[in-house]
Structure 1
């Protein structure tokens, strides 16, 4: 009897309530907007009360217009319900799609807390984008000691489709999924002094999201290592000359102590160590110090390292050279640095022959002298040929640009002075065409010569 009643109820419900519109599969990019809709129709004379619920992955998230308390966020999604005399419209509106919204959605209609109608299942596929805080670059430790394993991590939120993580060296690394929620890329190094301060960059991309390109940078690595020690000075020194030896180190943390050791041991009066401890001064090395080994040891909290130098002593007779000139009795002395002492300077490395510069100068001088010797006969030959040619032709006298031509004339006497005549001397001056003069000929009469036939002396005035 009970079974019959249930069947009758379901048949009555199915005949009076149907879905006019059901949710469909949709693909949306994260942070986008999308809406899922259910529309149910029933007979106009149906007076029953229906409740409608949205379900995601088999869990109900909203009933009628109310969202589950733990999911209430109006910036995320809202639900709306509208009823008429013959239908119910139920909307699930995502204001901003989250990565976690990916799943299967369905709307169910209840009557008296019993499901009377179920919609089809719609899959909401979200192209997920990692949160803005990703990727994150981390290190396994804050401080490493030389020889430790250094682990670098690049972490991102796990998304569908998955992101691609890559270190800047371009090498292929395996991305592992941690707890199904995060993707992690790791890189393993061995701590050494060269890695102190090292940083690496991790990039995050996604082939389906072209504008997704982010990166992060690891913190500079702090590597502790024992000192690296060297003595840059050579062990070759001159007898009687003070010598300095510097213990040069690089270390992290800093060197805490320097120790000097000589073998065979030197007397304390023969050397001195400065206040810092990394400089040793040898006062007066002699031939007995030849072959002495000087060792510097530097120590910090990680360990210690040493380096040594062996002394080679040069005597004064090996270092000094005296050159005497039999002509001038000039003495030139050379010290161990190959520099001359006194007023005259020269190099103690005497060249066995002429230098290249001197040879080049001699060759150039010879060529110039040869050219002069050849040109002299040629010059005289050309000069003689010109004289012979000139003598065989008419001599050409060049007229100067300006010249003077004197001219004499006699002025007839006046009727009353027939016993005297005026003699004038004038000259003409010819100017070239480019001279700006008004006349080509000029006449000057400043001096007159008076001639009288009856006078014994003629005068000029």
Structure 2
């Protein structure tokens, strides 16, 4: 019994010594979505290789036995396994795993094993398939934490990518760069933090994705425009320097999101309602007749929306008319002189007032009189002008009258040649004629030439008429 066991051990040792790998799979680096291949070559001690089984395993798990892929990998597998004999060396087997489109998940350590009688006989060296992984086409993704922010809020923006080996680099358009780390085991993410303010309303951030080992990998994404709610920004572009007696307008200029819902104007000290007006929109105020007493008045406009309200003010500086001041001073001086000359009698002032009033009344009367005369002249000239320019009988030479010559033609009334009369007492020769008067509206007169010797008179007839 012992001899039989020893013989078996010797045969087994000889058997394993003749079974060996003539070629081990080697490390390989390949870019995702491209083809790759791993090969191991086994040399057997016999031509009856069917008694052996070859298997491929990845990261310690078998994925194929012979040329059959594991059942749970058949649906998603992207590789095939082949077994080929070397024609020149029948005991030599080439075992190949071929990836026709390498995926990111194919990255790992691969090994070729030989089994005999369900026992592991040989293991090849491990080969590392290094896949330059490319993120899915949907990456990078740019998102924001919220759709709407209010002024003063923290704005959180994110740029995310699929985690790959080697890792990608994400960069914001403002130059902030970060080599991303794993988040939730599958996603790499870059964050951007801002403080919401009116200038960020409509802002869009751009993020780029690159990989130093894949030069042509360069993708971008853009966040949705930010919506920032803020209270109104208010300004009054007009200055407070205005002339006395002239209307003045003040506009309350605002920018806000959402829109302004109410405008409020507040003058200090308060003005009478008859001294100013506010338009229907509420953001324009008009002073009717500013005077010196309004100098120093502060006018404040307040705009309000659902976020809050803001105000701005302008101070009135009334500029008087220098010419009017001189006139007033002159009149005052004259009044004083009159009062002195008249020994401060009241009738002196009355006389001045009467003269001034009379002077003003005279000016008004003269203006009205001149206006009436001009109006009367215009009324009289209109028909004359019309008659002179529009009359049909206008001519430069008033002594010459133009008379138009009509076309005259003769025709017998019955279109027959009349017989000559034999006796003057029995026949009357009547001759008919017609004249074609022009229908021109400018023709008011015409003349006809008629030869009287064409008429034959009968001594006993009273019908010597011409037609």
The reply to whether TM is greater than 0.5 is yes
- Residue 30 of structure 1: how far off its partner (Å): 2.0
Report the counterpart of residue 60 of structure 2 in structure 1: 58
The residue matched to 1:100 in structure 2 has which SS?
helix
Q: 1:63 to 1:319 in 2, by over 3 A?
A: farther
**In structure 2, distance between residues paired with 1:271 and 1:43:** 115
Aligned match of 2:291: 286
1:208 has 2:213 as partner: yes
Q: Helix, strand or coil for the counterpart of 1:194?
A: helix
Cα distance between partner residues in 1 of 2:70 and 2:307: 60
Counterpart in the other structure of 1:134: 139
Change (3 A) 1:167 1:275: same
Indicate if the aligned counterparts of 1:173 and 1:186 stay in contact, CA closer than 8 A.
no
Alpha-carbon offset, residue 146 of structure 1? 0.9
Which residue of the partner structure matches residue 315 of structure 1?
A: 320
Say if 1:197 and 1:222, in contact at 8 Å, map to a contact too: yes
Change in Cα spacing, 1:102 to 1:42, as seen in structure 2 (3 Å) is same
Deviations along 1:338-383, one digit per CA (max 9) or x if unpaired, are xxxxxxxxxxxxxxxxxxxxxxxxxxxxxxxxxxxxxxxxxxxxxx
Can you list the C-alpha shifts for 1:119-173, whole angstroms capped at 9, x where unaligned?
A: 1111111222222222222222211111111222222222222222222222444
- Matching of residues 154-303 of structure 1 within 5 Å: 154-173=159-178, 175-303=180-308
* Contact 2:170–2:177, Cα closer than 8 Å, also in 1: no
Could you tell me which of 58, 66, 91 is aligned with 1:86?
91
**1:180/1:7 CA distance change after superposition, 3 Å:** farther
SS of structure 1 residue aligned to 2:16:
helix
Shift of 1:252: 0.9
Say which of 35, 41, 49 aligns to 2:37.
35
CA offsets 1:32-79 (integer angstroms, 9 cap, x no match)? 211111232323364763332211111222222222344336882212
Return closer, same or farther for 1:37/1:73 CA change in 2, 3 Å cut-off. farther
Q: How far apart, in 2, do the equivalents of 1:226 and 1:9 lie?
A: 94
Q: Give the Cα–Cα distance (whole angstroms) in 1 for the partners of residues 34 and 216 of structure 2.
A: 15
1:98 maps to: 103
State the Cα distance separating 1:223 from its structure 2 match.
1.2
Question: What does residue range 365-404 of structure 1 map to in structure 2 within 5 Å?
Answer: none
- The whole-number CA distance in structure 1 between the counterparts of 2:34 and 2:226 is 40
Equivalent residue of 2:215, what SS?
Answer: strand
Compare 66-75 and 156-165 and name the one that shifted more.
66-75
**SS of corresponding position for 2:96:** strand
Segments of 5+ residues of structure 2 without an aligned counterpart are 328-467
Q: In 2 relative to 1, CA 103–266 (structure 1 residues): closer, same or farther, beyond 3 Å?
A: same
Q: Measure how far apart 1:10 and its partner are.
A: 6.0
Between the aligned partners of 1:100 and 1:44, the Cα distance in structure 2 is 38
Among 66, 69, 73, the alignment partner of 1:67 is: 69
RMSD: 2.9
Shift of 1:269: 2.3
- Give the secondary structure class of the aligned counterpart of 1:184: strand
Q: Report if the CA contact (8 A) 2:167-2:179 is conserved.
A: no
The Cα offsets for residues 90-115 of structure 1, whole Å up to 9 and x where unpaired, read as 21101011222111001222334432
- After superposition, the Cα gap between the structure-2 partners of 1:156 and 1:45, relative to the gap in structure 1 and judged at 3 Å, is closer
Counterpart-to-counterpart distance in 1, 2:44 and 2:116: 13
Total equivalences in the alignment: 321
Q: Is the 8 A contact 2:266 2:299 kept in 1?
A: yes
Question: Are the equivalent residues in 2 in contact too, given 1:271–1:283 (CA < 8 A)?
Answer: yes
1:210 is paired with a residue of what secondary structure? coil
Q: Deviations over 1:410-435 (max 9, x none)?
A: xxxxxxxxxxxxxxxxxxxxxxxxxx
Question: Contact conserved, 2:21 with 2:124, CA < 8 A, in 1?
Answer: yes
Higher mean C-alpha displacement, 90-99 vs 77-86: 77-86
Q: Does the CA-based 8 Å contact 1:147-1:191 persist in structure 2?
A: yes
CA shift, 1:320, in A, is 7.5
In structure 2, the CA distance between the partners of 1:211 and 1:48, relative to structure 1 (3 Å rule), is closer
